[in-house]
């Protein structure tokens, strides 16, 4: 029997990778891809599945309650996977209200629609599941002086930016709907994803793009902020496993103990990009340290023990392999990069970094 998934934000970075992963792995499924197509959503990400009848696209804002409800009436969804979110911390500092609208109110709209559609009249919801894709940023920051300390699912939430606050609030609504109404839910909290199709405002694709153009590589503060890096396909596999095998109501951290600081990442990008294109002008001289981001968390580190013990998931892509694959993908797909950065991004980049990222 065909299982039907609503995937919100399915034209964005992680969402589009998830759509491609699921259609590549499962034959008997249908994915209804719901995306507002903001600057970071791009149907070019899904060009390889054009004509695949298992993929249906709907351009809908998840904050539009009527349209979301219409989708639940049109399709008999078995699962909802909510990737839809404003996700860039700098933008959240600049305009927090947009993040509250999409990340919190949009989540509530989806929860209400799922509850209305799936309730069997006696308080049961059958085999349906709502999965909220969250972030390790909801936990706050770890100290660089305690490298053996990690975020666990029981770590209290302590968000430090408008972005992470909006994601934490959404998580709380999801858990509240489980407790109050019995809605079958799961939450996954991932570390920093990297891989193909990431919009070039994020660290890795931004640095590749700027290095090729011999533009400054802006690094916040001293560059010693540490993140745990997770190859996006490994993340997609984890979500699939949670949907298929997890006990409902559970939260799972998804990370890989691949912690690197920003200085290392940028230098690795310089090294690989220079070697790949044979351009000796791509050097560490392009690095420019800029004023630190407000509320910049020092370190994230995720313990993925629970998902490994419960479901057998582990990250299959080592960082050393994944970072090279990712850099080479952006080098081989400059037409895609140029296309997605031709509009809003250029204005935004100049406003955020232009005056302070000059070599």
What does the pLDDT look like over 236-264, one tens digit per residue?
999 999 999 999 999 999 998 889 999 99
What are 254's two structure tokens?
Answer: 């998804």
Of the candidates 163, 194, 197, 252, the residue annotated as catalytic is: 163
Is 279 one of the annotated active-site residues of the chain?
Answer: no
The dihedral formed by the CA atoms of 84, 86, 87 and 89, expressed in degrees to the nearest 10? -170
pLDDT at residue number 342: 74
Stretch 128-141: mean pLDDT: 97
Of the candidates 136, 201, 234, 259, the residue annotated as catalytic is: 136
Stretch 88-100: mean pLDDT: 89
Task: Compute the distance between CA of residue 347 and CA of residue 359 in angstroms, rounded to an integer.
Answer: 19
Of the candidates 137, 171, 228, 233, the residue annotated as catalytic is: 137
Question: Minimal CA–CA distance to 142: which of 35, 312, 298?
Answer: 298
Question: Minimal CA–CA distance to 83: which of 237, 195, 188, 157?
Answer: 188
CA 87 to chain CA centroid, nearest Å: 7
Is 163 one of the annotated active-site residues of the chain?
Answer: yes
Stretch 126-131: mean pLDDT: 97
Question: Minimal CA–CA distance to 15: which of 55, 66, 68, 63?
Answer: 55
Are 75 and 4 in contact, with CB atoms under 8 Å apart? yes
Stretch 102-114: mean pLDDT: 97
Q: Give the bridge partners for 29, in sequence order.
A: 3
Q: All domains of the chain, ordered by start, with CATH?
A: 3-193+231-257+299-317 (3.40.50.720)
pTM of the model: 0.92
Is 136 one of the annotated active-site residues of the chain?
Answer: yes
Does residue 353 surpass a pLDDT of 60?
A: no
Question: Minimal CA–CA distance to 96: which of 8, 13, 159, 172?
Answer: 159
Torsion 225-325-243-247 (CA) sign: negative
Between 203-212 and 262-277, two packed helices, what is the crossing angle to 10 degrees? 40
The percent of residues in the chain predicted with pLDDT above 90, rounded, is 82
Which residues neighbour 174 within 8 Å (Cβ) at sequence distance 6 or greater?
107, 111, 130, 132, 185, 187
Does residue 359 surpass a pLDDT of 80?
A: no
């Amino acid at each position: 029997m065909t299982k039907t998934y609503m995937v919100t934000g399915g034209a964005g970075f992680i969402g589009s990778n998830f759509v491609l992963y699921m259609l590549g792995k499962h034959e008997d499924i249908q994915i209804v891809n719901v995306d507002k197509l903001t600057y970071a959503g791009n149907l070019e990400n899904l060009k390889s599945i054009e004509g695949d009848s298992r993929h249906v696209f709907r351009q809908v804002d998840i904050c539009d309650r009527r349209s979301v409800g219409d989708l639940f009436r049109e399709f008999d969804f078995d699962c909802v996977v909510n990737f839809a979110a404003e996700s860039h911390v700098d933008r959240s500092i600049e305009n927090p209200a947009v993040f509250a609208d999409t990340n919190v109110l949009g989540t509530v709209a989806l929860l209400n629609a799922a509850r209305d559609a799936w309730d069997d009249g006696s308080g049961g919801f059958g085999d349906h599941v709502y999965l909220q894709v969250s972030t390790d940023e909801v936990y706050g920051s770890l100290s660089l002086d305690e490298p053996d300390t990690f975020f666990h699912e029981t770590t209290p939430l302590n968000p430090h930016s408008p972005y992470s606050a909006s994601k934490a609030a959404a998580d709380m609504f999801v858990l509240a709907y489980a407790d109050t109404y019995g809605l079958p839910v799961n939450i996954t909290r991932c570390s920093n994803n990297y891989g193909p199709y990431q919009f070039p405002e994020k660290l890795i694709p931004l640095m590749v793009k700027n290095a090729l153009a011999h533009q400054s590589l802006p690094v916040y503060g001293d560059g010693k902020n540490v993140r745990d890096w997770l190859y996006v396909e490994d993340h997609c596999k984890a979500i699939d496993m949670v949907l298929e095998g997890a006990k409902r109501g559970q939260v799972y951290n998804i990370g890989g103990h691949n912690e690197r600081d920003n200085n290392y990442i940028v230098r690795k990008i310089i090294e690989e990009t220079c070697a790949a294109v044979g351009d000796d002008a791509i050097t560490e001289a392009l690095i420019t340290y800029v004023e630190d981001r407000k509320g910049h968390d020092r370190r994230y580190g995720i313990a993925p023990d629970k998902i490994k013990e419960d479901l057998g998931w582990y990250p299959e892509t080592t960082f050393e392999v994944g970072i090279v694959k990712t850099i080479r993908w952006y080098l081989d797909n400059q037409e895609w990069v140029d296309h997605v950065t031709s509009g809003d991004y250029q204005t935004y980049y100049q406003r955020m970094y232009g005056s302070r990222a000059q070599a």
